[in-house]
Amino acid sequence: MNDSRTQNLFDSSLVVLHALQAAGFTAYWAGGCVRDMIMKRTPKDIDIATSAHPEQVAALFPGAPEVGKSFGVVKVRVQGHTFDVATFRRDLSYTDGRRPQGVEFSTPREDALRRDFTINGLFYDPDKNLIVDFVGGQEDICARRIRTIGNPLDRFGEDHLRLLRAVRFASVLEFSIDPATADAITTMAHRLSTISAERIQGELTRILLESPSAGQGIRLLHETGLLEVILPEISAMAGVEQPPQFHPEGDVLTHTLMMLDAMENPDVVLAYSVLLHDVGKTATFERATEPDGTERIRFRKHAEVGTDIAARILDRLRLPSHESEQILHCVRNHMRFIDVHRMRRSTLRRMVGSPTFPAELELHRLDCSCSHGDLSNYEFLLKFREQLADEHPLPDPWITGHDLMAMGIPEGPAVGVWHKRAYDAQLEGRFAGREELLAWIRQAVSSKVDSESD
C-alpha cells in the first residue's frame, strides 16, 4: 500500500471487515485483490466475501443498496470507496453461457470452487495475514500460470466470456496458460460469438491498454482461435506479405503485433489506431510488375479501404463515437506522413494543430520503428512542432467571413474558398498582420473580378 488512495482503500475495507466480524460473521478479501496483494500489485478495488446474508449486511450498513440481491451482493460505501460485499455461495446451473440461473448461499470452499481461475479463487484475512486457498491459486501464481478451477470445459461452458478473460489475464500478468486450459479455449473458441459486443470490447480494450506487451495478447488470441471469432479482419492479416525493402520484419500481422508490443502507456485512440492502421492491406494486396520486369508488392489505397473496414469493426465493438472518429482519422491519414517534407507550412500547421496529432505522430513513430527504421519524417515534425512552441499552431483567423462579404464576395461557397486562402497565407507567415492580409485579399479579389469581366 504505497500511496494515500490505496492506503485509504485498505483502511476503508477494514471498516467493513471489522463490522462483519464483530457481528459474528466470517469475512475475507476475495478474488483479484488477493492475487494482486500476493503479487505486490496495487489493487484497483477490494471485493469482500462473507457468511452474512444480504439482509444481514444491509442491517449493518443502513442505506447500502442490494443491487445484486438474487446473487447475494450488497454495495457498501465507506469513506468514499464502494465495496461489493457478497455472501459465500455456489452457482446453480448456467443456461445462457454467461450467468447462472441463481445461487445458493454456501461455504467459503464452495464459493472458491465456483470461480473461474485458480489465481482468482483466493481469500485473505488481512488482520491475521491469512491466505485461504482451496484451489491451488498460490502455486499457480508462483508458477505464473492461468488454470481454470476444475474441468476447463465445464468452466468455459458456464461462462463463455471466460475464454477471453483467460487470455486477458495471461497477457496483462505475463503468465502462461496451462495446456489443458489452452486446449479447452481452442476447442470452445466459437462460443465466444454468443457474448455481447460490449463485453468483448471491454476485455479487448483491457488487453490493449493494460498489457506490458499488447501484441503478445493479440498473438495469444490468434493462436487460440479467438481472434478469428472476434476480429476476423485482423486474423486475416497473418501471412499477407509485405515488400521486404520496407518491411523486413515480415507479414502485416507480425508488423502490427510488433507495434502493439512497442506501445508505452497508450490510450484507447492510439491502441486501436495501431491495431487497425493496416487492416486494409489484406483487401488491397497485389503483385505489380515494374517496367524492368521485377515484381513489387503494392497496397493501393489501403488507408482508405482500411478506414471503411475499421469503421465496421469499431461499430461492431460499440466503441464510443468520439473515440471511433479519432481512430478512423488516424487510420485514414497515417500514410500522409510520407509527404511532410513537401507540405506547405499551412498544411503542416493544420496537421500539428489537430487534436489527434499526438496519436498520429506516435502511430507514425511506431510504424517506422517496427519496419524500415527511418525516423526522418518523425524528427522533422518534432522540430516543426518545437518551432511553434511559443504560439498556437492554429491561431484565430485574422480575416472573417464578414470581412470577405464586406469586400463584395457573395455569401456562399466563395466565402469559404477565400477564407481558406486567407488563413493559409496567415499560417504560412506571408504577412505581418491583419491589415497587410486584408490589402492582399482586396487586391486578389479585385484582380479576379477584373479578369472575369474581360
Torsion of CA 247, 302, 282, 212, to 10 degrees: 60
pLDDT for 69: 58
Indicate the DSSP class of residue 305: H
Domains of the chain: 1-138 (3.30.460.10), 144-230 (1.10.110.30), 249-394 (1.10.3210), 401-453 (no CATH)
pLDDT for residue 305:
97
Q: So what's the pLDDT on residue 1?
A: 46
Using the structure block, give the residue that is written with the C-alpha cell 500481422: 253
Q: What residue ranges of the chain have pLDDT lower than 50? A: 1, 453-454
End-to-end CA distance of the chain: 82
Q: What is the pLDDT of residues 219-246, one digit of tens each?
A: 999 999 999 999 999 999 999 999 999 9
Q: What are the grid coordinates assigned to 135, written together?
A: 484451489
Q: What is the pLDDT of residue 64?
A: 77
Comparing C-alpha atoms, which of 212, 363, 335 is closest to residue 274? 363
Say how far apart CA 118 and CA 98 lie, in whole Å: 19
Residue 384: which of 354, 337, 362, 352 has the closest Cα?
352
CA-to-CA separations, 376 to 64, 245, 330, 337, 360, in angstroms, rounded? 59, 17, 20, 10, 15
What would the pLDDT profile of 351-384 be if each residue is shown by its tens digit?
998 899 999 999 999 999 999 999 999 999 999 9
In angstroms, the CA 287 to CA 290 distance is: 10
Q: What is the pLDDT of residue 448?
A: 67
Q: What sign has the CA pseudo-torsion 220, 222, 227, 229? A: negative
DSSP one-letter code for 43: P
Q: Residue 220: which of 244, 195, 203 has the closest Cα?
A: 203
The pLDDT of residue 379 is 96
158, three cell numbers: 458456464
pLDDT for 454 = 46
Give the distance from CA 66 to its chain's centroid. Answer: 32
